[in-house]
């Protein structure tokens, strides 16, 4: 007997995520605003795709040898994806991560069995930036024992972007029957935006691609003026950048905005309360961006964005009235009630 409806291993359960209509954002704009539920990936985020794309490419090229160590610098989600895939395919992982990231993500990574190395959050120009530390670790390991470690390098390894073009972008095209008129998201490595943007524009050059950038990131200003300049800051994690990565460099971006937390975090709360969607801070930036793109294109368009991971990864911040007040972010009455009733 052959059982047909099974996935043979973890990698086969990544991607093909549901595309869900966001009711409130659609009603507000007269557009059909749709979101890919990337929190439904087995590791809980869009970065499972990145991890798988990088890993398959490295297995094919021989950069990652059987039994070698997977090493990466990450805000957390890529590390979780790599470590889970590593567990499923016989690799151990060492993950460098800035110590400013949420405890929930650090714990999620620790329970995968990965070795988590928390390092101070410093600018990319500093040699102690987490990505440089990861690269140095691999260089030293391979100098001692060639082929013993692999640096995934999600920011500048364009296998990241290419995998999004081949999976996320194609899925969006097919799930909307080619009716997608605009796509928008925030970027960390740039892999998602560039990959989806290139895939959609290759199928219809009229599709508009937009960047939703959090406060504190230099990219929206860069797209609009050619100058890397950042202002303000954000409680969001995993998004925003001070530099143009190899994955971001070819992103075909038509529009770009900076989106403050006071605009994005209320979307996180509204999605939870009115639509039952538990999402993280970058998803709030994405949905705020989708509303801006809908307004720019006018009613009647199909706009797609992503729900990149779940709010449970940031619960102590995003759903914590005292924390939000300390950041001057509005606290919805229902959230206050939920905690005062305890
Ligand atoms: N949202 C979350 C929650 C993330 O962890 C990341 C990646 N760090 C992104 C968005 C950005 O995706 P990308 O790296 O493809 O630009």
Give me ligand 1 centre to Cα 189, in Å.
Answer: 7
For residue range 190-213, list pLDDT tens digits in order.
999 999 999 999 999 999 999 999
CA distance 104 to 277: 18
Which residues on adjacent β-strands are paired with residue 258?
213
Choose, from 21, 36, 47, 105, the residue flagged as catalytic. 47
Full pLDDT tens readout for the chain, 342 residues: 678 889 999 999 999 999 999 999 999 999 999 999 999 999 999 999 999 999 999 999 999 999 999 999 998 999 999 999 999 999 999 999 999 999 999 999 999 999 999 999 999 999 999 999 999 999 999 999 999 999 999 999 999 999 999 999 999 999 999 999 999 999 999 999 999 999 999 999 999 999 999 999 999 999 999 999 999 999 999 999 999 999 999 999 999 999 999 999 999 999 999 999 999 999 999 999 999 999 999 999 999 999 999 999 999 999 999 999 999 999 999 999 998 865
Ligand 1 atom nearest 187 alpha carbon: 16
The set of residues, in sequence order, having a beta carbon less than 8 Å from that of 145 and lying 6+ positions away, is none
Instruction: Check: pTM over 0.95? Answer yes or no.
Output: yes
Give me ligand 1 centre to Cα 161, in Å.
Answer: 12
Ligand 1: residue whose CA is nearest its atom 4: 238
Ligand 1: residue whose CA is nearest its atom 5: 238
Q: What is the pLDDT, as a whole number, of residue 339?
A: 85
Report the chain's C-alpha Rg in angstroms: 20
CA distance 205 to 180: 11
Query: Using a 6 Å CB cutoff, which residues line ligand 1?
Result: 45, 47, 75, 77, 186-192, 238-239, 280, 282, 308-309
285 by Cβ neighbours in 10 Å (0-12 / 13-18 / 19+) ranks as buried
């Amino acid at each position: 007997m052959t059982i047909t409806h099974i996935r043979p291993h973890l990698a086969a359960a990544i991607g093909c995520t549901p595309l869900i209509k966001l009711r409130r954002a659609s009603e507000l704009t007269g557009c059909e605003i749709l979101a890919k539920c990337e929190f439904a990936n087995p590791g809980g985020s869009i970065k499972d795709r990145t991890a798988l794309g990088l890993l398959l490419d490295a297995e094919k090229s021989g950069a990652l040898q059987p039994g070698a160590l997977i090493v990466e610098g990450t805000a957390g989600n890529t590390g979780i994806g790599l470590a889970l895939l590593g567990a499923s395919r016989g690799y151990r992982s060492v993950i460098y991560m800035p110590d400013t990231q949420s405890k929930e993500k650090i714990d999620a990574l620790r329970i995968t069995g990965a070795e988590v190395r928390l390092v101070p959050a410093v600018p990319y120009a500093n040699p102690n930036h987490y990505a440089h530390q990861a690269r140095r670790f691999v260089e030293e390991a391979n100098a001692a024992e060639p082929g013993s470690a692999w640096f995934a390098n999600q920011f500048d390894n364009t296998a990241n972007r290419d995998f999004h073009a081949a999976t996320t972008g194609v899925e969006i095209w097919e799930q909307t029957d080619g009716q997608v008129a605009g796509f928008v998201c925030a970027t960390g490595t740039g892999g998602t935006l560039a990959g989806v943007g290139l895939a959609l524009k290759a199928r219809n050059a009229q599709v508009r691609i937009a960047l939703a950038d959090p406060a504190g990131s230099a990219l929206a200003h860069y797209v609009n003026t050619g100058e890397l300049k950042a202002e303000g800051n954000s409680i969001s994690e995993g998004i925003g950048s001070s530099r143009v990565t190899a994955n971001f460099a070819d992103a075909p971006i038509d529009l770009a905005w900076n989106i403050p937390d006071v605009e994005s975090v209320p979307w996180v709360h509204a999605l939870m309360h009115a639509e039952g969607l538990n999402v993280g801070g970058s998803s709030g930036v994405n949905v705020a961006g989708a509303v801006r793109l809908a307004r720019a294109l006018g009613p009647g368009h199909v706009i797609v964005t992503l729900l990149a991971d779940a709010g449970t990864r940031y619960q102590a911040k995003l759903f914590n009235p005292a924390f939000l007040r300390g950041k001057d972010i509005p606290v919805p009455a229902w959230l206050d009630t939920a905690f005062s009733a305890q």
